[in-house]
Every structure is written in C-alpha cells, then in structure tokens.
Chains A and B, each alone.
Chain A
Amino acid sequence: MTTDHAPLLSVQNLTVASATGGAPLIDGLSLTVRRGEVLALVGESGSGKSLTALSITRLLPRGLRITGGEIAFAGQDVLTMSPAALNRMRGAGIGMLFQQPQAMLDPTARVRTQVAEPLILGKGMARRAAFARVIDLMRNVRIPAPEARAKAHAFELSGGMAQRVMMATALAAEPELLIADEPTTALDVTVQAQILQLLKAEQARRNFAILLITHDLTVVQAFADRIAVMYAGRIVEEGPAAQIMADPQHPYTRALIRCSLLEPEADGRLLSIPGSGATARDIACGCRYAPRCHVVQGDTHLHHRCCGAEPGLIGLGTDHAVRCHASQTQASAA
C-alpha cells in the first residue's frame, strides 16, 4: 500500500448554496480520502451527502453552486480545472457508481459502447482495442457470458447485472478514487452482498480509494475503514469505522446506529429520534441536532449551551473528531 502524505482527495470548507440565495445546503464541510482507503459518508436523506459527491466531480444540478471552499484531487485544484481536464478526471481519475444502475445506462447504446467510453475518452484507446478490453473488464466483475452481454442493451440486464456493468465502466480506466453513491440500495440483499464482496475484492486487488455514500450502517460496518457522519450539511463525527461503530461519541451517531441495526433497547422498544430529519436550510443557531438530541433534553445547563453556540469539530484522539459540546466536555473531564 502506498502511503503518501498528501491525501488523494481533500475537501476544505466546502459550501454549496442555491443560486437564488438562502442558507447553504452544505456548510463548511471538510473531509479527506487517503489513497487505498474506504471512507463512508453516512447520513439521512437531506443531510447533503449526495451533494458532496456531486460537488467533488463538479456535477451539481443547475441552480446549485459551490460558493466557497477548496477541493483538491491528486494535487490538482478541481474548482479551477478546465472543462477538458474535468472530463479527463471524471472516468479516468474518479470513477462513479450510482444508486439506479438502470437509469444511469444509456438505453440506446450497447453495453460495450458504454463500458469502453472511459477507455476511449479518458485513455485515448482505439475503439477495437477498447472493445477487446471490455470483455476482460466484464469478466473481472464476474458477468457470466461477457461476450454476449457486451452486445446487449441495458434493459436486457437484471439490476445486479446492470450494477456490475456500471462497476466495470467505473473501473475501466483504473481510477484512483471510486465514488459510490448508495451503490446497492436498489438491489436485493443477496445481490447487494455479492456486489459489495466483489467491490471489496477489486479494491483489494487494485488498491483504489472509495468514497462510499450510504445510509445503511450494516454496509458501513462490513465495508468501511473510516466513517464521516453528516447531519444537516455538516460533519458531526469522523473517525475509524470500528471505533465509531463500537463507541460512537456524538448522540446522533449513536442514535443512527441503534436505529439502523434495529436492536431493541432494554425496555423492548426501538430507539427513535424525535422529530424529522433536518436539512441545512432550517437551522437557526446552536448545535443543529440540539432540537432532536436526547442528551440535551434532560439537562438545562447543556440546553443553554447547545442551543446558544454551535460546537466545533474537535479531535478526541488520533483520527477521531466530534462536533458535540456534551462529548467534548466529557472527554476533557476524563
């Protein structure tokens, strides 16, 4: 494993807002992905995880724009890149996997044309050579009868097969980073597990990094090296996956893990978070999670503090940081 000091991807103070104004949707988000690691970006819908991924590849939908911050991929500044350089980076530098593989594949093109695209556009390969390589790529992701399937159209594939085709496409130009946005959410559980197992095997073989965006803590537990938890446009906790899963410090992380794994509490009920998921828009001041936080509710002193000022993202030890007054007070007392 190469251990470069500079991270592969570095996002600093990223802010994304609507072009028409209003509160930012992503507010001062920083994260790094190191070479060869799997970073899971976790959060509920509306927390801003997909917008983060789209910002990294400069694919934000019309009407949203990056209003501040820096994004560097492999030492290059993504925000000042020329359109041609951006196109080379997408596909050749950063591969992408999305939730709905069928929707991402062109229904009018044969599978091989799409898998070959990053080879032809990103690597400048000749068409014939690229088509030959496609068969190997499809074999790598264990697509049975790759010769026949290469000539098929997307609608002839099952969901699992389509996601394998997407994976072959995303990995075709040997990217250093794969952004996988809910790659298995639309798939059946047994197919999901097979796809994840395959992704892990390919990652171990070629040592690329993965930014895995998911709401499913089961997947994170089995797959990620590090976790960053997002809430309402901000990262609230970040650290090694095993450590966070075993001993989460932020009340939201703790609640999210309990909610996802559906293990009953001592009274036989499931832990639930009151209220509904907040987006960055409806935040006034103080900690963004305070209105739903069960730690704050029972403590008037904390209530005053948490609703008054937003906590910073403070390190708790090596590699582990949390944005919570209560946990930070506890840690400094210990």
Chain B
Amino acid sequence: MNARLPAIARRAAAEYEDLSQADASFLSVDGLCKYYAARSFRGTRPIKSLDGVTLRIPKGEIMGIVGESGCGKSTLAKVITRLTSATAGQVTLDGRDWLAPRGEALRRRRPEVQLVFQDPYGALDPRMTIGTAMAAPLAAHGIGTTSEDRRARVLAMLAEVGLDASFHDRLPAQCSGGQLQRVVIGRALLLEPQLLVCDEPTSALDASMRTQILNLLMDLRAKRGLTMLMISHDLRVVRYMCDRIAVMYAGKVVELARRDHLFDHPAHPYTRALIASALLERGGIDLTRHLREGEVPSPLNMPEGCRFASRCPYAQDDCTRLEPALKQAGSDHFVRCRHWNTHAAYVPQGD
C-alpha cells in the first residue's frame, strides 16, 4: 500500500506510528494529505492544506476538530465527505475503504456520509420549498416508493428536528436561520447516514439559536446513535458536544485527547494558547505566557521544523529544525511537540 504514496506522504505516515498502532476504528483516517496546486509565474507549488492527518472515531462518538482559519479543518470535512479528492492517505468507514469508490459506486454510497453546512441560507435553494428540498435527496437515492411515501418521511423528519408541518410548503426566505439549520440537519438525516460531518453548524447563528441547534444535535445523537465529526473554531462548542477533540494547526493534528483531559491537561503550547484565548479570564487578558507575537506560517511555505515554533513561547533551537511527530502522552492522548513534558507546570485557567 505504501508504494502507492508519494515519498513525502510516506514520511508523514511514519511519524504517526504511535497513533497508527491504536486499533482501526469505525472511522479511521490515516496520513490523509490534501495538497492544492498554487500556480504562479514562478511555477507550481503545493499548498499543503492537510498534511498527514490521522484520526480514529469509534462508533457513536463525536469527534471535535478545532483550529483557526486556514488550519485545514474544512478541507478535512471536504475530503471525508468526498467533495474533493485526497492527495494521499486512507480513510476507512466501518472497515471498508471510503476513498476507493468512484462514479456510480460512489454515488450509491454517498448517503453513508452526510454534511451539515455552516451557512443554512447557502445550503438551500431559495426558490425551492422546504419540502421539495428535503425530498430531493430521497428521490435521487431511490429511497421511498412513491412521492406520498417520501412526503410522509419528510414530515416525520420535520417533526423530529422540531418543526411543524407548516414548514413543508414554506420557502427558505420565510424561515429564520435557526429553523433553516434544522431543515439542513433533517435533510442530511433523511438519508440515514453512518457518519454526520458538521462544519461549523452554529457559527452563523445568534447565541440563543446556537444552543437550540446544539441541543437538537445532542438529542438526535442520543436517539439515533449518530457518529459525528464536529468541526468548529469555537472551543465552547466542542467542549459541550464532543467526546474526543483533535486540535489542528497548519494542516496537522497537534493534539488529540478525550475532552476533559484536553481541557484539564493540555500538553501542546498551541492548545494552551487556544484555551486561554477562547475562555478569556475574567477581568483580564494575559496571553504573553501562551503566545509570542508572530505570524501563522504560510501554507505555501511551511517551515522545516515545528509549525507552531514561530509563535511558541517555549520554542527551542531544535524546534525550528526538526519536525515533531505525534507521540503518545498518556492513554488516549497524543501530542505533536518535542518538549511537551518539560514545559513549565501548567495551571489551567477556568472561569
């Protein structure tokens, strides 16, 4: 299998030794890379949007992916939903290769992985009624025998996501953002997916709407035993929703742990900076301990060593030369930092 991968991806995969030893799971992502080509007069250079991502999601769990814009989290969602191809790496879903099927075979398997988009207004056709929009994927995949049967399924799903039957004939313009996001979630679930990928499902919504949608997702998860990949820049959202959290920085997973462990004992300096920034301390902001003033590296020109070194307050000489691997830091806890166990003792800040 390795022979098929480009040399650079083979090297990336080897770094994941510690995590790869963990058993294959319901969703296994191994050494996943996505390079886009940036063409300029100087020639074509790769933009390493995803650079060797390895994840395991057990059935029925919610895995959170956090990181800032440009870290590759939405690219990960696109590759896992097969909206774009992978440059290298593997994804298996329930023991079957998920990146292999193409054409008609892929179309048949598409219901297995469904996506909830960030912007519900953009995800629905403004001239299509809610009922038509929700029934369309059913018809496309031959689910339901007649249009009456599909209508009954749509009405049942509307009720399940907390909307009454009157929404069936409404247009998106007649609904609020929160109601439309319920429609988008319902439409995805009508296909009975094995994996639901949510890409920033609440970041376009107001605070009061956001909690309604998060409660709905948790209810649906409890009822249907959904396995979910929850992509968010909001640490509060992943802290509430997720069983496990992967922190991404510049195309790589830098830390992966169970939720409580990640918040109580973050090992990677970037995770600490992220937690301190997101859960600002009451009556003061002191980031200098966690973050140096520096720029995020450009995906066109990734530094040789650790990608966080330019902003890391603990960076040492070897950090800028040698790339750290994702190493086991405890049971179910992986961290990509050469010096995680020698940093000054960290006192978690809470509110």
A-side interface residues toward B, CB under 8 Å? 44-45, 142, 144, 158, 188-194, 196-197, 200, 215, 217-219, 221-223, 242, 245, 255-256, 259-262, 264, 269-273, 276-277
Cβ A193 vs Cβ B211 within 8 A:
no
Ordered by A's residue number, 24 sampled pairs between the chains whose C-beta atoms are within 8 Å are A189-B68, A189-B235, A189-B277, A190-B273, A190-B277, A190-B287, A190-B291, A194-B277, A194-B287, A200-B285, A215-B207, A221-B283, A262-B210, A262-B211, A262-B236, A262-B240, A269-B218, A271-B211, A272-B208, A273-B208, A276-B176, A276-B208, A276-B209, A277-B206
Distance in angstroms between the alpha carbons of A197 and B277 in the assembled complex: 10
A7 to chain B, nearest CB (A): 23
CB distance from A219 to the nearest CB of B (A): 7
Q: Report yes or no: B68 in contact with A193, Cβ–Cβ below 8 A.
A: no
Establish whether residues A45 and B206, one from each chain, have CB atoms under 8 Å apart when the complex forms: yes
Query: Which of chain B's residues 278-318 have a Cβ closer than 8 Å to chain A?
Result: 278-287, 291, 293, 295-296
- How far, in angstroms, from A188 to B282 measured CA to CA in the complex? 20
Whether the Cβ atoms of B282 and A245 lie closer than 8 Å is yes
B270 to chain A, nearest CB (A): 8
Q: Is the CB of A222 within 8 A of B278?
A: no
Nearest B-chain residue to A194, judged by Cβ: B287
A197 contacts B286, CB within 8 Å? yes
**Residues B295 and A261 in contact, CB atoms below 8 Å apart:** no
Give CA–CA (A189, B291) in the complex, Å: 12
| Cα of A277 to Cα of B178 in the assembled complex, Å | 10
Shortest Cβ distance from A219 into B: residue: B280
Task: Tell me if A215 and B211 are in contact (CB < 8 A).
Answer: no
Q: Could you tell me the distance between the alpha carbons of A219 and B279 in the complex, rounded to whole angstroms?
A: 9
Known contacts A191-B68, A242-B283, A256-B208; 16 further A-B pairs (Cβ under 8 A): A44-B207, A45-B206, A188-B68, A188-B233, A190-B274, A193-B285, A218-B236, A221-B282, A221-B283, A242-B282, A259-B207, A262-B236, A272-B208, A273-B208, A276-B209, A277-B206
Question: When the two chains form their complex, are residues B285 and A197 in contact, meaning their CB atoms are under 8 A apart?
Answer: yes
Instruction: Let me know if B212 and A272 touch, CB within 8 A.
Output: yes
B329 contacts A by Cβ under 8 Å: no
Select which of B68, B208, B235, B291 is within 8 A of A259 by beta carbon.
Answer: B208
Q: Which 3 A-B pairs have the closest CB atoms?
A: A193-B277, A222-B280, A273-B208
Residues of chain A within 8 A (CB-CB) of B214 are 262, 270
Q: Is the CB of B283 within 8 A of A259?
A: no
Chain B residues within 8 Å of chain A by Cβ, number = 40
What's the Cα separation between A188 and B232 when bound, in Å? 12
- With the chains together, A144 CA to B351 CA distance in Å? 32
Q: Are A158 and B278 in contact (CB under 8 A)?
A: no
Closest chain B residue to A275, Cβ basis: B208
B327-351 with Cβ < 8 A to chain A = 351
Distance, CA A272 to CA B210, complexed state (A): 8
In the complex, the answer to whether B208 meets A193 with C-beta atoms within 8 Å is: no
Residues of the B chain whose Cβ atoms lie less than 8 Å from the Cβ of A269 = 215, 218
The answer to whether A261 and B69 have CB atoms under 8 Å apart is: no
- Known A189-B277, A215-B207; judge A261-B236 contact (CB<8 A): yes
Measured CA separation A93–B28 after assembly (Å): 58
CB-based nearest A residue for B235: A189
Cβ-neighbour of B279 out of A158, A215, A218, A242 (below 8 A): A218
A194 is contacted by which of B207, B236, B291 (Cβ under 8 Å)?
B291
Q: Is B265 an interface residue (CB 8 A)?
A: no
* Closest-CB distance, A294 to chain B (whole angstroms): 12
Return chain A residues, CB-CB under 8 Å to B351: 221, 261
The answer for the CA separation of A260 and B285 in the assembled complex, in Å, is: 18
List of B residues within 8 angstroms of A200 by Cβ: 285
- Are A222 and B282 closer than 8 Å at their CB atoms? yes
CB distance from A222 to the nearest CB of B (A): 4
Tell yes or no: B237 within 8 A of A by CB.
Answer: yes
Q: Are A188 and B69 in contact (CB under 8 A)?
A: yes
Q: Does B276 contact A (CB under 8 A)?
A: yes
Chain A positions within 8 Å of B178 at CB level: 276
| CA–CA, A256 and B210, complex, Å | 11
User: Closest CB of chain A to B118's CB: distance in Å?
Assistant: 14
Q: Report the separation of the CA atoms of residues A270 and B178 in the bound assembly, to the nearest whole angstrom.
A: 15
B206-245 residues with Cβ-Cβ distance < 8 A to A are 206-212, 214-215, 218, 233, 235-237, 239-240
Shortest Cβ gap from A270 to chain B (Å)? 4
A215: chain B residues at CB < 8 Å are 206-207
User: Please, which residues of chain B bring their CB within 8 A of the CB of A188?
Assistant: 68-69, 233
Contact between chains at A270 and B280 (CB < 8 Å): no
Smallest CB separation, A292 vs chain B (Å) = 8
Q: Give the nearest-CB partner of A221 in chain B.
A: B282
- The answer to whether B211 touches A270 (Cβ under 8 A) is yes
Bound complex: CA A259 to CA B295 (Å):
32
Residues of A within 8 Å of B218, CB to CB, are 269
Residues of A within 8 A of B279 (CB): 218
- A255 to B210 alpha-carbon distance, docked (Å): 12
Q: Which of B179, B208, B236, B240 contacts A277 (CB 8 A)?
A: B208
Q: Which of B209, B276, B279, B281 neighbours the largest number of chain A CB atoms within 10 Å of its CB?
A: B209
Known A-B contacts A142-B293, A188-B69, A269-B215; the reply to A221 vs B208 at CB < 8 A is no
- Distance of B193 from chain A, by nearest CB (Å): 24
What residues of B have a CB within 8 angstroms of the CB of A221 in the complex?
A: 280, 282-283, 351
Which A residue sits closest to B282, measured CB to CB? A221
Q: Which residues on the B side are within 8 Å of A255 (C-beta)?
A: 208
Are B293 and A194 touching (Cβ within 8 A)? yes
Cβ of B212: which chain A residues have Cβ within 8 Å of it? 272
Most chain A CB within 10 A, of B68, B284, B285, B295, is at: B285
In whole angstroms, what is the CA distance A284 to B138 when docked? 42
| B211 surroundings in chain A (CB, below 8 A) | 259, 262, 270-273
Residues of chain B within 8 A of A142, CB atoms compared: 293
Do residues B285 and A196 form an inter-chain contact, with CB atoms below 8 A? yes
Interface centre among A223, A271, A276, A277 (most CB of B within 10 A): A276
C-alpha spacing A136/B218, complex, angstroms: 51
Pick the residue among B210, B277, B282, B295 that contacts A192 (CB under 8 A). Answer: B277
